[in-house]
Each structure stands twice: as structure tokens, then as C-alpha cells.
Structure 1
Amino acid sequence: MADHTPFGVCYAKVTPEQVRNYEMVIIEPDFYSKEEMDALRATGTKIIAYVTLGEVDTNRWYYPRLAEIGFLGKNENWNSFFVNLESAEARRVILMDVLPAITEKGVDGLFLDTVDAVAPTTERAYLQPYMVQLIEGIRQRYPGFTIIQNAGAFLLEKTGDDVDAFLTEALASDYDFEHKRYRIRSADEFNERLKYLNHYSTQSDKPYFIVGFADTEDKRKQIKTRLDTLGRPYFISNIGLSELPVQPDSVANILKDKSL
């Protein structure tokens, strides 16, 4: 973990200057050509490419192909649609078409988003075996990649062997989509979520990264004060993850302990 911090996440297009002071940056690969990706990696920073597994938005080039198969509802917060992972063809499109289009540009790893689209609390919980099968397929296809699972800690018992770490969002803070506002979690909320994460981290023997959300310097300071007590890597940004400061000091921590 220490070799991957400070880390950042940015879904707006970034430059080599922006990433060079980070050890790892998760990026939106659709914004880059192979030459631009090479320039990012030439800085020595590990470049991890975003890929969505459980949902897809209408801007993705492969959206029409998954739409033909049929979706299982819509995530109104992000204007994205839930992928029918029960369909072997849907899984094939992701594994055999989408991922090669990303990896042929040259990346160091993959960031698997929307795994929690099959959470136990949703009507899509029955898709969990298919999500596991997809993640297993990704590891088999890319054995040397750094693979980070976003959320979906409830699946780590089955996906743990196929991912290197997981990431959690909104541990110390949260974003209210209905009222469009940022808030700091109460101590009880924070401790309950931390207990949940540590349980699955211990059970799976997988470390985790933390992303926090804030819109003011005061909220960033409150989040940093809370997260600095954990000894785990974190990054703080806006809800759209569209910012990557050239100097990570104010938004990302650096782990000194090489054993983490």
C-alpha cells in the first residue's frame, strides 16, 4: 500500500504534470490515446484505468450493445443503467470487447466500479455469482495487473483472490444527491462504517483505499483529521472526482509504513 500512495482519482482529463507527484492515479481511459497514456506512465506513476461492471451510462461507446440485451433499471443519481450480468453476452462484451479497448492503450491496472450494483439490499442481489464470475475472468485475462475493487466489500469472500485491494467511498463524509450537498458523517456513522470495512478487510486479508468528498477547505480539514487516525491511504475530492491537484499534500496521504 505504501508503494501506491499518495494516490489520486480523477475522471477529468489529466496531464503528466498533474500525475507525476502521485504514486498511483485512477483515470478515465476513454479520454486518452495510447500516446497520451504512455506519457502519463512515463512519469513513473502507476496508471489504473476505470471500468464499470454493474452499470453503464449512455455516453459509453458500448452502451447500444448492452441496451440490446436489456437493462435491469436505472440509477437516477448517475443517470446510468444496471447491466444484466446474468446474460453471458453482456459479460462477454465487457470482458472481450470493453477491457481490451482499454488495456491496449497501456495501463498498469484496472479499477472495477459499480460492483455494489448487486448489493444484498438490492433486487439485483441474485446477480452476485455473475459479478464474481466476471471478476474472476478479469483476473485470469490480466494476471499481472493491479486490480482494485470499488466497494462491494460483501463480495470479498469470493472475489478476494482476484483483486489486490478494494476502495471505499464516503467513509468520513457523504454526499446527499437529493439536496445536492456535502456533509460530514456523525461519529456513530463513521465508526459503524469503519467497523464494517475492517471486518471485510480482515476477513479477506485485503487492504483498502479511502476516497472522501468535500466542497470546502473546512470540510477537507475535518475529513483529514478523522482519516489521519486510521493509517490508511486516502484521497479527497469533489463528488464528480474531477480534480487532481499537482501537489497531493492537501488531499492525499503518504503511508510511511511499508508493512501496510
Structure 2
Amino acid sequence: MRLTKFFLFVLPSVLLTNLFASGTKKNTVLVCYGKLKAESIKGYGYVILEAKHYTAVEVKQIKSQNEKVFAYMSLGEVNAHAAHYKALKNHTLGKNEIWNSYYLNLKAEKTSTVLMDIINKALAKGYDGMFLDNIDNYSIYGPQKDQRKELVTLLRNIKEKYPKNLFIQNAALELVPETSAYIDAVAIESVASLYNFKTKQYGLRDAKQFEETMTRLKNITTTHKVPVIVIEYADTQSLYNKIIERIKPSGFQYFIGNIDLQRIPNFK
């Protein structure tokens, strides 16, 4: 077990114990892709931000107020408005209409070169590591399922180049046996909650599905020694409380926010 993994594995339970002992209901994780004031980001175990919004000075301040700070990036897609879209637009494999983004082709050498450059620039600002999104695109039902081998190779190359930095894999639990050597935590969205993109309604996931996923997550932490971060979505204080009640016994670090991830959540 790497020391970084051990630290992150222990930290969630410690923070959660302190938070619930004091009666405070606060996310132990912050995921926000909108621009926030650096001084407003305080007291989290993990902070996940859009790198372009913050200077190196601001990142330093945010790190002084939180445990670990990560920069977001997608390893599966590129948004049409992203700065690196022009460089990769000829290396895509179709469009994700929901997010107005395009599926990346990891078989193209250019793709890996551009992605590594993005990581290098973000880490140069002082981020502790990267939050790697859209990994589920490479799972058995994903649009890039035939590039699973290329994904694992890319993750290995990233970790080898940046061994002292931390990397969070978002979703794709089925890939953890192959990726666990190269990541330091795994995030999973909508375990307790369920957002309907067609109706734009928030709700709770079926109880049986929730319990099955929780069992799977606990097995992952035991077998692969990879800590889990749960990312949930709510639009009211009532739903927030129901989600907390479900996930509290797990001891996992968690974030509960609005689906657009543009602000620090404040439920009513």
C-alpha cells in the first residue's frame, strides 16, 4: 500500500467522525467548476476545482485551508468550449449531446500528448493532483470500451511521470482492479441519489440499488485499498438530509450539491 493511499484512506473516517460528533452537516468534499473566491473554500478533505479559474497564488491559499486540492480534467471527452478542443477536434469519435462534448481517441498519440500537457500545467500551479473524469466511458457499456487497454496505459504513464501527485478516478468501478495501482482514490456519483436529465428532477435511488452499490464500494476499499468519495445531487435540504442518512454509516467522504456544480451548495 502506498503511503499516499494510506493517508487518504484514513483521512475520510477521521474527518467524518469530527463532523458528525459536532452535529455539523457539511460536505467533506467540495466539487465546484465555477469560479469561487479562494478565501471561501475552507475545511474540506478534498477540493476539486476547474484549474483555469485559479492562479498559483490562489491555489496555495486554498491548499492552506484544506487537506488536498485537485484540478478537474476529463480523460474521456473534450468540451467544444475547452481550450484544448482545437488541438483534439480531429481525434474524436462522436459527440455526447448531453454535455456538448466529444469522445476522445486514446489510440491517437496526439491525444495522450495533449492530455499530459494539461496535467503538467495544472500541477505546475501547485495542485496536489488531478480528478480524472469520464473514466466510465471505457467500461463495458461505454462509448470507448474498445480503448480500455489504452486508458490503463495512459494512467500508468501519468502515475510514473508524477509519482508524488495524487489521482482520483471518477466512476468505472469495474476497471478498479486494473487501475488501482495508478490511482489514489475512486469517486462514484449518484449512489444514494438519482438525477433525471430528461425531466431535470432530483430524487433518491432505489434502495436495493443503493445497498448493492454500497456493498461493492466497501469491497473495493477492502480488496484494493482505494478510498472512496461519494458524489451526490440534491436541490432541497430535505433531500440532502435523506442522502446524509443513507451515506453516513459508510464513513466515506462525500459531496452533495446541485447538478451544475457551479457553486458551494446551500440548501433550503
Structures share a fold, TM > 0.5? yes
8 Å CA contact 1:75, 1:82 repeated in 2? yes
Contact 2:47 2:66 (C-alpha < 8 Å) held by counterparts = no
Mapping 1:58-77, distance limit 5 Å: 58-69=80-91, 71-77=92-98
CA contact (8 A) 1:15 1:40 kept: no
- The TM-score normalised by the length of structure 2 is 0.85
Which residue of 110, 113, 129 corresponds with 1:92?
Answer: 113
Structure 1 residue ranges without an equivalent (≥5): 251-260
Match among 50, 54, 64 for residue 28 of structure 1: 50
CA offsets, 1:77-105, max 9 Å, x none? 2111110111122112111x211121111
Where 2:71 maps in the other structure, the secondary structure is: strand
Instruction: Name the structure 2 match of 1:46.
Output: 68
| 2:200 aligned to which of 161, 180, 190 | 180
Post-superposition shift, 1:245?
A: 5.3
1:147 and 2:164 equivalent?
no
Aligned to 1:116: 136
Distance 2:132 2:218 in 1: 20
2:216 counterpart of 1:196: yes
User: 1:169: how far off?
Assistant: 0.6
What SS class does the counterpart of residue 42 from structure 1 fall into?
A: helix
SS of the residue 1:86 aligns to: coil
Unpaired segments of 5 or more residues in structure 2? 1-8, 16-27
Task: Please give the secondary structure, in 1, of the residue aligned with 2:251.
Answer: coil
Larger displacement relative to structure 2 (139-148 or 44-53): 44-53
Letter in 2 for 1:152: A
More helix by share: 2
Counterpart position of 2:104: 83
Contact (CA 8 Å) 1:116, 1:151: kept in 2 or not?
yes
Once residues 217 and 245 of structure 1 are traced to their aligned partners in structure 2, the CA distance between those partners, rounded to angstroms, is 10
Q: What's the offset of the Cα at 1:172? A: 0.1
Share of identical aligned residues, percent? 33
**1:3 partner letter:** L
Which TM-score applies when normalising by structure 1?
0.88
User: Out of 250, 255, 261, which is 1:230 matched to?
Assistant: 250
Answer whether contact 1:154 1:200 (CA < 8 A) is retained. no
CA distance in 1 between counterparts of 2:202 and 2:84 reads 32
Give SS of 1:160's match: helix
Separation in 2, partners of 1:112, 1:2: 21
Q: Is the 8 A contact 2:258 2:265 kept in 1?
A: no
Task: Give the deviation of 1:192 after TM superposition.
Answer: 2.3
Cα deviation 1:31-66 (Å, max 9, x = unaligned): 112222222223354211111100110121110111
Q: Is the 8 A contact 1:49 1:111 kept in 2?
A: yes
Aligned pair count reads: 245
Residue in 2 aligned with 1:208?
228
Kept in 2, the 8 Å contact 1:16–1:43? The answer is no
Letter in 2 for 1:10: C
SS class of match (1:211): strand
